Amino acid sequence: MNKQLPQRFPIVAIVGPTAVGKTDISIRLAKEIKGEIVNFDSIQIYKHLNIGSAKPTAQEQKAVAHHLFDIVEPNEFIDVTLYVKKAIPVIKRIIANSKTALLTGGTGFYLNALLEGLSPSPNKNIAIRHTLKKIIKQFGTQELIEYLKEADETILSYIHPNDTYRFIRALEVLIESNKSISWWWKQGKKDGLVGWPTFKIGLIRPREELYKRIEKRVDKMIEEGLIEEVKSLLEKGYNPKLRPLRSLGYRHIIMFLSGEVSLDEAIYLLKRDTRHYAKRQITWFKADPTIKWFHPEEITKMNKIWKSVNK
């Protein structure tokens, strides 16, 4: 264990909503404590999805070791179970090499599964899933949303109807077992890094400040070539209905390219939906009492981040 980091914290996590400023601080802290960054963002794990996922640039990734970025193709299947199976050996290897595993990202469900283990749940039911997809295609999601909320009124704070995979999985579990997916999540867990000491740093900004940063980020994504990135993905033959291409940014640009909306409308919707997503992320992370919260600029001013936050 390196001397700069107390032995009881082999793992450090930096969490927070999109556009809050996690990347810069993660790289700086990794350099300070001789850490290696491990991604827990569910979209940054995909190859070719760079601009729209706000993935660290090639230059940023060279500054310190980065792991679990660009590990699957957009048409390859990966879920939280497979993510945890890939992440655990990476983290254990980092720690075995006397380094700190610095977990960074915005997908709270992935982080919870990694640190607290995976809950048992019913196996996938292809017939139910197929039926749900047909219902959504024909009638939309509103009645199914109400059905989910009857089982668990908090469910939509961490599963959004536009996240088709998780939305359908939550419905599938409810129909199959007559219990909500959140009930299953609270059952006995396995396969995670349960018991491994972890120090969690949360980054937060006032809402209006965060929303302005989101709007600037979206504008920057367009300037940096998000439209061209999406065109390239489609030209490579990736189906626009693939799960990663239904995520923030990608689905909005696909709507523009298919003629469903104008570019201005697509940008407006992307900004709006990203604000809503950030709000859900904050709700998720704020429910964790073990996170120690800071304004990013507060950390930026620190000469030694670790000594300052770990008081």
- The answer on pLDDT for 2 being more than 60 is no
Is 2 among the domain residues? no
Residues 243-255: tens digit of each pLDDT: 999 999 999 999 9
Q: Mean per-residue pLDDT for 67-91?
A: 95
Is 4 among the domain residues? no
Is 107 among the domain residues? yes
Is 5 among the domain residues? no
Amino acid at 309: V
Q: Mean per-residue pLDDT for 17-45?
A: 97
Statement to judge: residues 23 and 132 lie in one domain = no
* Residue 142 CA neighbour count, 13 Å, CB half: 2
* pLDDT bucket at 39, cuts 50 / 70 / 90: very high
Q: Report the CATH number that the domain containing residue 220 is assigned in CATH.
A: 1.10.287.890
Statement to judge: residues 86 and 35 lie in one domain = yes
Is 88 among the domain residues? yes
Is 60 among the domain residues? yes
What are the φ/ψ torsions at residue 246 (nearest 5 degrees)? -100, 5
Of 28-42, 121-135, 152-166, 242-256, minimum mean pLDDT range: 152-166
Statement to judge: residues 255 and 296 lie in one domain = no
Q: What is the pLDDT of residue 181?
A: 81
* pLDDT bucket at 117, cuts 50 / 70 / 90: confident
Statement to judge: residues 66 and 107 lie in one domain = yes
DSSP string, 1-51: --TTS-TT-SEEEEE--TTSSHHHHHHHHHHHHTEEEEE--TTTTBTT--T
Statement to judge: residues 235 and 215 lie in one domain = yes
* pLDDT bucket at 104, cuts 50 / 70 / 90: very high
Statement to judge: residues 141 and 286 lie in one domain = no
- The answer on pLDDT for 301 being more than 90 is yes
Q: What is the pLDDT of residue 250?
A: 98
Q: Mean per-residue pLDDT for 114-135?
A: 83
Statement to judge: residues 79 and 19 lie in one domain = yes
Q: Which is nearest to 248 in space by CA: 16, 13, 44, 84?
A: 44
Residue 288: how many other CB atoms lie within 10 Å: 15
* pLDDT bucket at 71, cuts 50 / 70 / 90: very high
Tokens of 200: 């969690």
* pLDDT bucket at 8, cuts 50 / 70 / 90: low
Statement to judge: residues 91 and 194 lie in one domain = yes
- The answer on pLDDT for 6 being more than 70 is no
Statement to judge: residues 103 and 82 lie in one domain = yes
Q: Which is nearest to 160 in space by CA: 254, 239, 272?
A: 272
Q: Which is nearest to 51 in space by CA: 227, 170, 252?
A: 227
User: Structural domain of residue 38, as residue ranges?
Assistant: 11-119+190-206+282-309
Q: Which is nearest to 22 in space by CA: 112, 80, 102, 114?
A: 102
Q: What is the pLDDT of residue 176?
A: 87
Is 172 among the domain residues? yes
**Cβ partners under 8 Å of residue 27, min gap 6:** 37, 56, 60, 63, 64
Amino acid at 158: Y
Q: Report the CATH number that the domain containing residue 199 is assigned in CATH.
A: 3.40.50.300
What are the φ/ψ torsions at residue 305 (nearest 5 degrees)? -60, -50
Q: What is the pLDDT of residue 5?
A: 43
Domain count, the chain: 3
Statement to judge: residues 33 and 109 lie in one domain = yes
Predicted structure pTM score: 0.80
Q: What is the pLDDT of residue 189?
A: 62
- The answer on pLDDT for 69 being more than 60 is yes
Statement to judge: residues 153 and 241 lie in one domain = no
Statement to judge: residues 245 and 225 lie in one domain = yes
Of 12-21, 177-186, 302-311, minimum mean pLDDT range: 177-186
